[in-house]
Amino acid sequence: MRNLGLRGQAIVTIKDIAKKAGVSIGTVDRVLHRRGRVHPETLKRVSQVIKELDYRTNIFAKNLKLRKVFKFGVLMPRPGQDSLYWTLPLRGIERAQQELFSHKVQVNFFFFDRYQEKSVLLAGKKMWREKLDGLLAAPVLPKSFGQILQELPENLPVIFFDSYVPGIKPLSFIGQDAFQSGVLASCLMKQTVHCKQGKIAVIKVLPEDYHIAERIEGFLKGSCNWPGFESVVTEIDGHWSVSKTKTRLEDFYRKNKDIAGIFVANAMTHKVAEWWSSNSGKQPVILIGYDPIPRNVKLLKEKVIDFLISQQSERQGYEGIYALFRHVVLGEKVKEKIMMQIDIITAENVDYYQS
Amino acid sequence: MRNLGLRGQAIVTIKDIAKKAGVSIGTVDRVLHRRGRVHPETLKRVSQVIKELDYRTNIFAKNLKLRKVFKFGVLMPRPGQDSLYWTLPLRGIERAQQELFSHKVQVNFFFFDRYQEKSVLLAGKKMWREKLDGLLAAPVLPKSFGQILQELPENLPVIFFDSYVPGIKPLSFIGQDAFQSGVLASCLMKQTVHCKQGKIAVIKVLPEDYHIAERIEGFLKGSCNWPGFESVVTEIDGHWSVSKTKTRLEDFYRKNKDIAGIFVANAMTHKVAEWWSSNSGKQPVILIGYDPIPRNVKLLKEKVIDFLISQQSERQGYEGIYALFRHVVLGEKVKEKIMMQIDIITAENVDYYQS
């Protein structure tokens, strides 16, 4: 859904409405400004026409006149972290920002270090100094997020994307059904694994957030009744060095030689794939991971990774800004949950994938 | 990308442009209407700002004043045909139509019987009686389409979706890389098939159009070097009765008992799946087909069909109307090819799929 640049924003005049409703311009004006007397039937008809013709242009014209600027804060990890994963939603946010530029929407970014709770607190502190009209946040460190959201200004609409904080109900959540994506991964594994028995390595990547935990839960649920196979969970930390990661994985491998498949629960998939493929002598496995970041895509094309599961990351950021816009600027109702697709990417369809 | 209703259409005034470019309103007016003298540097700066601020509002205002209506013709199969497949792109066309209603875009439908060449000719004849500003067509019967397009009014922009006519170059083609989708299907088959050897039934559905032929070509190419397996092509006709289809398939089965997988090259997948699952005693196979129409989705959820390949059918119709709009109304350049994703749908992700 890219590069369209223009969507159907109606340009409708009072004259259009009057003509369509079969009333005078004065009547439409009275309805619009809720003054003077209008027959209930006429009111109903005019309101219907206004709704049909999408008479939102006025809202923009009004905002433009008032020179009101809408400031949205975006609180998210530094784009370079998690193997550049965050550049994907960032791209969507920037696209929405560009499209909404002339609607006086201004986006202020507050990036934090995804591996330091303290960094979230600092970013939050900086953020509360600004007067915001809305907040889009990726609460990947739920503990610190819970803390900074206690200082949330009253009535400030908050939208979560990517993950969420248990116990906090945002205006809307935009993301993937993480549990179901794990179930999907387990089914793909079951359908494609080459051996008749063996171990399935389930790699949990730290620091864990709720959606990584749910992906693993979904995978284990999906593969629990699977004769001949056993799922073994191990952990690596996202900010370990290459050699430390390798040592841990080698250690795991020594204890679990009969690996038939590997499931990595986030974008770090390439780290595990690089380790596995760097050693000749290892048996062929099925490797399933997450997110079409460049290093994963490269290994997918080389058939080291078999499947990547994707969550329309760019769209998450794009829809996030638009949801704030619709709620704050247009006063429209926003869905509680905006669920993304659970996309399956292989070497054969990746070139046409658009995130 | 649904239910957003509103996209970033700029509402920009001459004042905005003047302010941003640091010139007077009169200067902007001179630039816009190409009259009077403007310093080249100023011209450049103002033009840049206009471009940045997306000053297309004027075009709409102008059209609105002139009361010019843009008539787009849509030439496509009856929505009920091919197991309701055509309701998918139709939904996208109608959504675009609704969004562009207030931009004076009017869509006229010309449906034909997808199984009768004559019906295309009749629909075409009816269509040429109208004065159209653009044409969106699904040329599934290439012979007749070649014929009616010979009478194409000069300069009428034509966009193809779904399939195309060899030798005719439209303004734009919107669809899937059909060959590559066949390659993808063969890889999925190879990865998931249960046996060590056997036959892969490749079901060609008649009447054949170019993209069905290409899907099969892609599948055969992908599975040609596949020891132990042999691909056998057979044909069924999309408008045969259930019993005739069954007889043909049973006949095929009697000669090819060792079927390990079945590939159906279009939305008729459910017909083959229903036949296969109706008979107990047949071995488990991997069944791969196309398009998430209701009957296919039902069988996917029941795990009779293993994978459906989808081509964002709804989006094809939606983008088709918008491409005409951008070209005809906005005078913008439209891409020669707008390629859709090649989506893989399983029982586990179908509930989140949005076409």
Read off φ and ψ for residue A155, nearest 5 degrees: 70, 5
User: Which chain A positions have a beta carbon within 8 Å of B335's beta carbon?
Assistant: 3
pLDDT at position B183: 97
Task: Report d(CA A314, CA A90) in Å as an integer.
Answer: 7
SS3 A150: helix
The backbone region for B219, taken as left when phi is positive above 0, alpha when psi lies in -120 to 50, beta otherwise, is: alpha
Cβ–Cβ below 8 Å for B192 and A187: no
Task: Report d(CA A185, CA A291) in Å as an integer.
Answer: 13
Q: Using the Cα atoms of residue B238, residue B240, residue B241 and residue B245 in order, give the sign of their dihedral.
A: negative
- Give Cα B74 to chain centroid, integer Å: 13
Cβ–Cβ below 8 Å for A192 and B187: no
Q: How far is CA A102 from CA A61, A68, A318, B47, B100, in A?
A: 11, 12, 16, 16, 20
Instruction: Measure B149 CA to nearest chain A CA, in Å.
Output: 28
pLDDT at position A298: 97
Task: Report d(CA A73, CA A90) in Å as an integer.
Answer: 13
Percent of chain A with pLDDT over 70: 90
Cβ–Cβ below 8 Å for B326 and A57: no
Select the residue of A5, A8, A61 nearest B103 (Cβ to Cβ): A8
Here the ipTM equals: 0.80
User: Which chain B positions have a beta carbon within 8 Å of A306's beta carbon?
Assistant: 191
pLDDT at position A10: 37
pLDDT at position B11: 46
> Which of A9, A101, A219 is the best substitution to test chain B (most B C-beta atoms within 10 A)?
A9
pLDDT at position A7: 37
Instruction: Measure A244 CA to nearest chain B CA, in Å.
Output: 33
- Give Cα B230 to chain centroid, integer Å: 32
Which residue in this structure is represented by tokens 């270090």?
A113
- Predicted confidence (pLDDT) per residue in A219-245, tens digit: 999 988 888 899 999 999 988 899 999
- Predicted confidence (pLDDT) per residue in A76-101, tens digit: 999 998 888 999 999 999 999 988 88
pLDDT at position B173: 96
The rounded average pLDDT for each run of 10 residues, N- to C-terminus, in chain B (355 residues) is: 32 70 80 73 80 56 64 96 91 90 88 94 94 95 90 92 89 96 97 88 87 94 89 91 92 94 95 89 91 96 97 94 91 91 97 89
SS3 B308: strand
Nearest to A344 by CA among A176, A123, A149, A205: A176
> Which of B193, B348, B350 is the best substitution to test chain A (most A C-beta atoms within 10 A)?
B348
Q: Categorize the per-residue pLDDT at A207 as very low, low, confident or very high, splitting at 50, 70 and 90.
A: confident
- For the residues of B183-214, what is the DSSP string, one character each? HHHHHHHHHH--SSSEEEEEEEEESP-HHHHH
Cβ–Cβ below 8 Å for A11 and B103: yes
- For the residues of A251-319, what is the DSSP string, one character each? HHHHH---EEEEEE-STTHHHHHHHHHHSTTPPP-EEEEE---HHHHHHHHTTSS-EEEE--HHHHHHH
Instruction: Measure B106 CA to nearest chain A CA, in Å.
Output: 14
User: Which chain A positions have a beta carbon within 8 Å of B98's beta carbon?
Assistant: 8
- For the residues of A174-209, what is the DSSP string, one character each? EE--HHHHHHHHHHHHHHH--SSSEEEEEEEEESP-
From first CA to last CA, the distance across chain B in angstroms is 10
pLDDT at position B181: 97
Cβ–Cβ below 8 Å for B349 and A341: yes
Cβ–Cβ below 8 Å for A306 and B191: yes
SS3 A86: coil
For residue A353, what is the nearest residue in chain B, using CA coordinates?
Answer: B341
pLDDT at position A354: 87
Q: Using the Cα atoms of residue B238, residue B244, residue B250 and residue B255 in order, give the sign of their dihedral.
A: negative
Task: Report d(CA B313, CA B298) in Å as an integer.
Answer: 18
Domains of chain B: 14-55 (1.10.260.40), 69-175+313-339 (3.40.50.2300), 178-310 (3.40.50.2300)
SS3 A232: strand
Instruction: Find the angle CA(B287)-CA(B290)-CA(B296) to the nearest 5 degrees.
Output: 75
For residue B316, what is the nearest residue in chain A, using CA coordinates?
Answer: A1
Single-letter amino acid code for the residue at A232 = V
> Which of B351, B352, B355 is the best substitution to test chain A (most A C-beta atoms within 10 A)?
B352
pLDDT at position A333: 87
Select the residue of A54, A177, A180 nearest B102 (Cβ to Cβ): A54
